[in-house]
Amino acid sequence: MNNNIVNGNGNGSEGGIVRPALVLFVLLSALTGLIYPMAVTGVAKTAFPAQADGSLIVLDGTVVGSKLIGQNFSDPKHFWSRPSATAPQPYNASASGGSNQGPLNPALADAVKARVEALRAADPDNTAPVPVDLVTASASGLDPDISPAAAQYQAARVARVRGMPLSEVQSLIDRNTQKPLLGFLGESRVNVLALNIALDAASGSFSPSTAR
């Protein structure tokens, strides 16, 4: 008889647990899956509209890129970005990733050597050491920035090809160099797309077709 009472109470307890569990599940799903994301998105679009929309760069009504995604510049008159190892093409934002090649991998050594040779060929008179971020890809493959040293390394080539004073090109680099947050968080960096837009504005016009 005691067993029947226990079993009866057990069945009743299980039935009593299911309903509040389902109610809690629905409420939490609505809260975390709908209400919270919508609230965060609404606050972000109000307080940080540009960032919430992807930090897009718009020129003459046309979106030419994002401050957060690198582009593959190869024309000597532009500053070149950091290499990208994404597939099937560089800077593929839908397939972020690195090459996963270790420092002892011959394929990495060959890739770095080829990149150094390309930089030397584009500017034979430049005998300065090549900054490492110009010949190695980032872990994401989408890095939009290069170091100030990498930008300065290319300044003479860009100035020569465009027929601009070197000092003017260097001044553009300085104006487009972002300092560390609060003066000590992170490293100084130069957004390549923003720098090339400023460069073209000083000597011509920027077109999305130049980002290849």
Q: pLDDT category, 211, cuts 50, 70, 90?
A: very low
Q: pLDDT category, 16, cuts 50, 70, 90?
A: confident
Residue 143, class by beta-carbon neighbours within 10 Å (0-12 exposed, 13-18 middle, 19+ buried)?
buried
pTM assigned to the model: 0.75
Range name among 20-24, 152-156, 175-179, 204-208 with the lowest pLDDT average: 204-208
Q: pLDDT category, 203, cuts 50, 70, 90?
A: confident
Strands 189-191 and 62-66: unpaired
Q: Given this model, what pLDDT does residue 61 score?
A: 82
- Given a contact cutoff of 8 angstroms between Cβ atoms, the answer to whether 108 and 85 are in contact is no
Average pLDDT, the chain: 87
Q: Given this model, what pLDDT does residue 81 score?
A: 96
Which residues, 6+ apart, have CB-to-CB distance to 44 below 8 Å?
51, 52
pLDDT tens for each residue of 144-164: 999 999 999 999 999 999 999
Domain definitions of the chain by residue range: 2-49, 54-210
Q: How large is the angle between the packed helices 192-203 and 148-162, nearest 10 degrees?
A: 30
83 pLDDT higher than 90: yes
Token pair 């067993």: residue: 3
pLDDT tens for each residue of 55-79: 888 888 888 889 999 999 999 999 9
Q: Given this model, what pLDDT does residue 60 score?
A: 83
What mean pLDDT do residues 13-17 have?
71
Q: What is the distance between the alpha carbons of residues 143 and 40, in angstroms, rounded to a whole number? A: 26
What mean pLDDT do residues 102-116 have?
94
